[in-house]
Each structure stands twice: as structure tokens, then as C-alpha cells.
């Protein structure tokens, strides 16, 4: 924790006593024995004002650490003027829905409205919130961008009394196009409301270098950000790595294995997993059945294979099914059913998932985190492990299952290195040492800057090149782009071939013919590619979606 936050904590004998009466009453009603460590540290830091990064393991109480003092601040400074008081930004719609459910009673008890705002929320609900903005709005970066672009003239009034912005899963934004977009959006809101700065509160997993999170929260001024780090209140960790040899002729394999021998004259290819060893299937069923767990299987295809395999094993043993898939292509209702069963249902439940359950959606307590293969990163593995070991006296449990091909004549040299096994061991050793990868530093992000130039033009109705550079680059997150490079970008956007923008006789940047078509599309608000998908329906129920590109690739 930075010295600033440490001094603040030492001056406050009881963080609980500094909270407003409705907030204290809400805590009493939940019969909390005490505040969590990260809450004790964050409350005085946030009440003092300024930018704060709150870093702690999963389920350590980061959300309450931010909102308990922010709601206290709102109660003390609430006025009659219209305008949202707190802006909460999340990378996931599902996380917004989950946080709305968790926080609703807290804000109702304080008489503060809580609004959800994303693609699944009705237009009527958004219109009501927009016409009488107040309280707290929970929103995605894309919906916030759409609000600024489509309602540019209303931005100043809607956010005129904005007290703070909360960014959940801050680590997921660092160094990404989406993160740069969000930084730019928040800067545009500050400029539109004629504010030098609006407090930003970032909720983050523990990173290898927390100063990167501070810089991501307030670009160019990371040194002024208070970093609050919660101590690890866990009960230890149990770790195990199990290895399995793949045998394509094993009758227990789910999918037919291709002939592992290579045709004469063809170089050997590295191994790619295409089957599930029978021993692995048996161990997964034996170790996970009868309790609630998360099984991270990697790809969506693997999720379906493992979930179906374990469901079939339940059927064969005459047990009720305990294994359910969870990934982004499944219908939202089906994902929420699995989440609710994990959170509220006493029946044993194992969710077989991709990264969809890695972020902070509330799913209650799970016994074991199971991982097929080494995973993406130590930081990701650490985030997943934080889902386990939440009960007092119960250690977090991680079981890693590694599949390797048998080493024989004709095998590729890569296979002989046992890379997945070595990587899994290395990741566990890094986890034990408390190390994880720092986020990648941001580059120029010219494609995102191009997007923000167009968004700013539509929001304002026209802007001079100088003001655009000062707002987006000098003051905004694109500080690595100087005037010369920015001018070159504008010239490229204005060429007859591109026609993304044009310049009026008065010198203002305006949207060009092609740019107008792009900005009028709903896809414009996202800086990541959105794939076209088929919707899969069975008996009038939506099961999920399937990417069109994958279907074409199979032909």
C-alpha cells in the first residue's frame, strides 16, 4: 500500500464509525462480525477523496470496499440537481447483473436509485434513467460510448454531479484497445462537464506491478493514485498436478483419435489434443462429484466435450447430473441457471467453463478449482484459485490435469519436451512464490485513436484538429501520439479512398461519407471485432449462438 493510504488508515481508529448511518445499518443487518482488511484500508482512503486502486484476491470484499464509502460521500453531498452520482463500469453484462443483485438492498436502504445499462436492458428503462438521471448507473464501456455519441448534448447535464467512477476488473482493461477506449471516454466526460478530474476507483486483482494499475486508472498521473492492497486472508493452498498419456486407441476416449503416425515423407506435426484419456475422465468424475467446483477446460469446444462426458458418466452411474457447461456462446438464461445453482442451491454443482467464470461474478463457495492444461497465465490462474477456499479454515484447492502424447518413434521434437507439463509446474512455482505477470504496456493504439476521433466528432457535432489533439492526446490516454503523427492520422482518414472525415470551411473536423455509415452502425461502439453468429433454438428455447466463421471453416 502507498504511504498516502497508510497515513490515512493510521488516523482512523474505526473505519466503520466513519460510514453513514444507513450504510452502518445495512452492515448490521448482514451480521458482519467486522469489516474485511481491504475494506478497513479503503474506506478512509476513498472518504479522503482522490483516485484509489483497490487490489485483493477474488471474493475479498472489493466491491463493498468501494461502495460503502462512496455511498457515505453521496449521502453527505447529495443535492437536488439531477445527474448520476456514481458511475460503475464493468467489462461484462453478466457482472453488471450480478452486482445489481448484490448492491440493490444497500442502495434501497439509503434511498439511492440503482440503474443497469447495457444491451439487454430495455429501451424504456434507459429512457427513464436518462430523462431523470440520479443515483448509480452500472454500465459497460460500449453502452457508455453509445450514450456519449448518441446523446452528446445531454452528457454535461447527465454527469454534472458525478462524484466518482468505479472501474471493476481494472486489470482486464490494462494495455488493451478496450482499456484505451474507456480511458478516453472518462476523459471526454470530464471535459464535457468542465471538471479537472472526477475521482476514479479501480477494483483489481493483484498484479506483479501495481503501479501499472495506477497508471491505467489515471494515465500520466499514476503516482498520485493511492494503492490499497488487502492482505491475503486465505487459509493456505492445496496444489496438485496430474499427468496423463494420450492413447488414441483407448476405448474410453470420447472422440476418435487420428492415426498418430505420419505418412512417409511428411514431417511430424506437434501434438494437438483431440481425445480425453479414460484415466482423466475417471479421475475428474471421482475427484469432483459430490461437491461444488469449477472446471476450466480451455476452449468452448472442450467445455462441451468435458461437460457432456461427465454428464454421461453421471447417467451411467445412476446419479443426478452435477456437471454443466458455461461459456460465452451459451444463452444468457442457461449461464445464469448455472450461476444461480452454484450460488443458491445446496446440490453439488460443477461448472465446466472457459474464462467466463474467471471474473468476479458471485457464485458462492466452491471446493476445488480444476484446470485442464497449464492455462493462459499465472495471473489468470491466481484469479481462478481465489474462487476456492472462502470458508473459514478451508484451504483453496487447485488440481491441474495435463495431457501429453506418448513419446515414440516419429514423434515431433516439441512433444518430447513435455511443454504443457513443464509450463504447469512453472506456473505453480510462480504461484507459490507470489509472482504473476505484469500487464503488457500500452502501445500507440492508433486504431483506437481513429475510433475516438470519430466518436468525438459525432458527440460534439464537429471539433477543431487542435482541440481534438489536446483532448485525446495531450490530456487523454494517447499521450504517445505527438501533433505530427496525429495530423498524419487525420490526413489518412480524410483521403478520397477513406472518407472517414472531412474538414468544414471553418476548419472543423466533420464526419465523412464513409465515416457516417460506420458511426451509424451499432457495431461502432465497440473497439473489438464482433462476430456474426447463428442463434440456436430448440423447442422455442434459445440454447446459444454459433460463430458463422467457424461453420464456414468446417465446410
- pLDDT value, residue 205: 84
pLDDT per residue as tens digits for the range 354-384: 988 988 788 988 999 999 999 888 988 988 9
- The answer on pLDDT for 42 being more than 70 is yes
pLDDT confidence band for 442 (50 / 70 / 90)? low
**Domains of the chain (ranges, CATH numbers):** 3-229 (3.40.50.300), 237-438 (3.40.50.300), 446-525 (1.10.10.10)
Name the β-bridge partners of 28.
none
Per-residue pLDDT tens digits for 53-79: 999 888 789 999 999 999 999 876 555
Between strands 396-404 and 533-538, the pairing is: unpaired
Does residue 2 contact residue 226 with C-beta atoms inside 8 Å? yes
Residue 151 exposure: Cα atoms within 13 Å on the Cβ side: 17
pLDDT single digits (tens) 234-270:
678 899 999 999 865 443 333 333 233 333 333 444 4
Phi-psi region of 125 (alpha: psi -120 to 50; beta: other; left: phi over 0): alpha
The alpha carbon of 206 is separated from its chain's Cα centroid by a whole number of angstroms, namely: 14
% of the chain surpassing 70 pLDDT:
89
Residue 263, number of CB atoms within 10 A of its CB: 6
pLDDT at 441 over 70: no
Binning pLDDT at 50, 70 and 90, where does residue 319 land? very high
Amino acid at each position: 500500500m502507498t504511504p498516502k493510504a497508510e497515513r490515512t488508515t493510521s488516523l482512523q481508529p474505526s473505519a466503520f464509525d466513519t460510514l453513514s448511518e444507513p450504510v452502518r445499518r445495512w452492515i448490521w443487518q448482514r451480521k458482519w462480525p467486522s469489516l474485511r482488511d481491504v475494506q478497513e484500508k479503503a474506506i478512509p482512503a476513498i472518504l479522503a477523496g482522490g483516485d484509489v486502486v483497490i487490489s485483493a484476491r477474488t471474493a475479498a470484499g472489493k466491491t463493498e470496499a468501494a461502495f460503502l464509502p462512496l455511498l457515505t460521500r453521496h449521502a453527505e453531498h447529495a443535492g437536488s440537481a439531477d445527474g448520476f452520482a456514481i458511475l460503475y463500469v464493468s467489462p461484462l453484462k453478466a457482472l453488471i447483473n450480478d452486482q445489481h443483485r448484490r448492491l440493490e438492498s444497500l442502495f434501497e436502504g439509503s434511498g439511492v436509485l440503482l440503474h443497469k445499462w447495457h444491451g439487454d436492458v430495455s429501451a424504456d428503462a434507459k429512457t427513464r434513467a436518462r430523462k431523470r438521471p440520479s443515483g448509480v448507473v452500472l454500465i459497460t464501456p460500449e453502452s457508455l460510448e453509445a450514450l456519449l455519441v448518441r446523446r452528446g448534448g445531454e452528457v454535461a447535464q447527465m454527469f454534472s454531479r458525478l462524484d466518482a467512477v468505479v472501474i471493476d476488473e481494472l486489470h482486464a482493461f490494462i494495455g488493451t484497445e478496450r482499456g484505451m477506449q474507456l480511458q478516453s471516454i472518462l476523459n471526454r466526460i470530464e471535459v464535457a462537464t468542465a471538471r479537472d478530474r472526477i475521482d476514479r476507483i479501480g477494483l483489481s486483482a493483484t498484479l506483479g506491478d501495481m503501479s501499472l494499475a495506477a497508471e491505467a486508472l489515471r494515465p500520466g498521473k499514476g503516482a498520485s493514485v493511492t494503492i490499497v492492497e488487502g492482505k491475503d486472508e486465505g487459509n493456505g493452498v492445496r496444489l496438485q498436478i496430474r499427468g496423463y498419456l494420450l492413447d488414441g486407441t483407448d476405448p474410453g476416449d470420447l472422440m476418435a483419435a487420428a492415426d498418430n503416425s505420419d505418412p512417409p515423407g511428411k514431417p511430424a506435426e506437434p501434438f494437438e489434443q483431440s481425445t480425453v484419456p479414460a484415466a482423466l475422465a475417471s479421475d475428474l468424475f471421482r475427484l469432483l462429484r459430490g461437491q461444488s467446483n469449477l472446471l476450466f477446460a480451455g476452449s468452448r469446444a472442450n467445455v462441451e466435450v468435458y461437460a457432456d462426458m461427465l454428464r454421461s458418466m453421471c447417467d451411467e452411474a445412476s446419479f443426478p447430473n452435477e456437471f454443466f457447461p458455461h461459456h460465452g456462446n451459451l444463452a444468457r438464461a442457461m449461464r445464469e441457471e448455472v450461476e444461480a445453482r452454484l450460488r443458491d442451491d445446496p446440490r453439488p454443482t460443477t461448472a465446466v467453463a472457459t474464462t467466463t467464470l474467471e471474473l468476479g461474478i458471485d457464485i458462492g463457495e466452491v471446493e476445488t478449482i480444476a484446470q485442464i492444461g497449464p492455462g493462459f497465465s499465472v495471473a489468470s490462474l491466481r484469479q481462478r484459485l481465489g474462487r476456492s477456499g472462502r470458508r473459514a479454515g478451508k484451504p483453496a484447492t487447485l488440481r491441474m490435469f495435463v495431457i501429453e502424447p506418448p513419446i515414440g518413434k516419429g514423434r515431433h521434437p516439441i512433444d518430447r519436451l513435455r511443454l504443457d507439463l513443464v509450463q504447469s509446474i512453472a506456473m505453480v512455482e510462480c504461484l507459490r512464490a507470489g509472482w504473476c505477470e505484469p500487464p503488457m504496456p500500452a502501445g500507440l493504439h492508433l486504431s483506437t485513436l481513429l475510433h475516438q476521433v470519430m466518436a468525438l466528432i459525432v458527440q460534439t457535432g464537429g471539433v477543431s484538429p487542435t482541440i481534438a489533439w489536446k483532448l485525446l492526446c495531450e490530456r487523454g490516454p494517447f499521450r504517445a501520439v505527438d501533433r505530427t503523427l496525429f495530423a498524419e492520422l487525420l490526413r489518412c482518414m480524410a483521403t478520397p479512398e477513406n472518407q472517414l472525415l472531412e474538414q468544414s470551411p471553418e476548419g472543423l473536423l466533420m464526419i465523412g461519407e464513409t465515416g457516417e455509415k460506420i458511426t451509424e452502425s451499432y457495431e461502432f461502439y465497440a473497439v473489438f471485432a464482433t462476430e456474426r453468429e447463428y442463434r440456436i433454438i430448440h423447442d422455442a428455447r434459445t440454447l446459444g449462438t454459433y460463430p458463422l466463421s467457424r461453420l464456414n471453416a468446417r465446410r
